[in-house]
Amino acid sequence: MAVKGRTPFLAGNWKMNLDHLQAVAFVQKLNWSLRDAGHDRGAVEVGVFPPFTDLRSVQTLIDADRIAFSLGAQDVSVHDSGAYTGEISGQFLAKLQVAYVIVGHSERRQYHGETDEIVGQKVQASLRHGLTPVICVGETAEDLEEHGASAVPVAQLQAALQGVTADADIVVAYEPVWAIGSGQAATPQQAQEVCATLRQVVAEKLGADAAERTRILYGGSVKAANIASFMREPDIDGALVGGASIVVDEFSAIIRYQKHVGV
C-alpha cells in the first residue's frame, strides 16, 4: 500500500479526446458517479487533464459545483510569453487554476521531438508559474531489451530534475512506452521495482525528504481490473490513466480502488 502521508493520486490524461462540451458532460457524470457510490472525497486526489480548449469550461464547472477534482494540462511552453505561435504559457494555465502539467509524455517525446533538455525546460517553466509538473519517464520495448527497465527512466528523470530545488513540488509518472495503449500493463512487481529506483533518483537529486513526499505514479494500460494490484505496492502512489480515464464507469471504479476486494 502506498505510504501514508502521500495522498494517492488518480490522474486522467484525456490526450486528444473530448471537446469542451463533452468535457463538461464527462466531469459532471464522473462526479455524480462518485457521489452515488458514496466515495470519500478525502481518500484520494482525482486529477483530470483535458485538452487546452476544454480547460476554461472544466475549471468553471469545478468551481461552480465545488467538485473535488484537480485540474491539469497536458503540456506547457518553455517560454513565458512572446512570439511563439501556438504555444501556451504556464502563466495562462496558472490563471485558470490549473494545478498540474504533464511534462515529457512519451507521445510528445516521440511525435514532437521533445528531448530531455526540452523536458527539463518545461519542468522549470511549470515550477516558475507554481504548477506541479507530472514528469513522465519510461522505456520503449527496445530499451527494455537492450538496457533493462530502469536505465532509460532513470536517465530521463535525472535530466528532468537538473536545477530543480529540494523544496519543489513534483510528481513522477513511470510509463513504460510498450505498456501505453497496448492493453499489456507492466506487472505490479516490475512497476514497483522501477518506481523504487526512481524514488532513489529523487533522493539523490532533491534529498530524502523530497523522496519521501514525492508521489510516483504508474501509467500504461491501467484499468479498474488491475489498479488495486498496483496500489498495493509501496512505491506506487497512484496512476496516470489514458484510455480508461475517459470512460465514466471505468475511471470512477479506478478512483474507488480502495473498495475493491482485498485492498
Where do contacts with ligand 13P occur on this chain (CB under 6 A)? 13, 105, 175, 180-181, 219-222, 240-244
What is the closest distance, in whole angstroms, from the C-beta atom of residue 181 to ligand 13P in the complex?
4
Catalytic position from the list 39, 105, 233, 250? 105
What is the closest distance, in whole angstroms, from the C-beta atom of residue 165 to ligand 13P in the complex?
26
Given the complex with ligand 13P, which of 16 and 83 has the nearer CB atom?
Answer: 16
Pair 192, 234: CB distance under 8 Å: yes
What is the closest distance, in whole angstroms, from the C-beta atom of residue 175 to ligand 13P in the complex?
5
What is the closest distance, in whole angstroms, from the C-beta atom of residue 159 to ligand 13P in the complex?
19
3-state secondary structure string across the chain? CCCCCCCCEEEEECCCCCCHHHHHHHHHHHHHHHHHCCCCCCCCEEEEECCHHHHHHHHHHHHHCCCCEEEEECCCCCCCCCCCCCCCCHHHHHHCCCCEEEECCHHHHHHCCCCHHHHHHHHHHHHHCCCEEEEEECCCHHHHHHHCCCHHHHHHHHHHCCCCCCCCCCEEEECCHHHCCCCCCCCHHHHHHHHHHHHHHHHHHHCHHHHHHCEEEEECCCCCCCHHHHHCCCCCCEEEECHHHHCHHHHHHHHCHHHCCCC
Given the complex with ligand 13P, which of 108 and 199 has the nearer CB atom?
Answer: 108
Given the complex with ligand 13P, which of 175 and 233 has the nearer CB atom?
Answer: 175
CA distance 37 to 257: 12
Given the complex with ligand 13P, which of 88 and 240 has the nearer CB atom?
Answer: 240
Catalytic position from the list 175, 193, 233, 250? 175
Given the complex with ligand 13P, which of 219 and 238 has the nearer CB atom?
Answer: 219
Indicate if 39 belongs to the active site.
Answer: no
CA dihedral 204, 207, 209, 212 (to 10 degrees): -10
Indicate if 175 belongs to the active site.
Answer: yes
What is the closest distance, in whole angstroms, from the C-beta atom of residue 236 to ligand 13P in the complex?
14
Task: Give the residue nearest to ligand 13P (CB).
Answer: 242
Active site residues: 105, 175
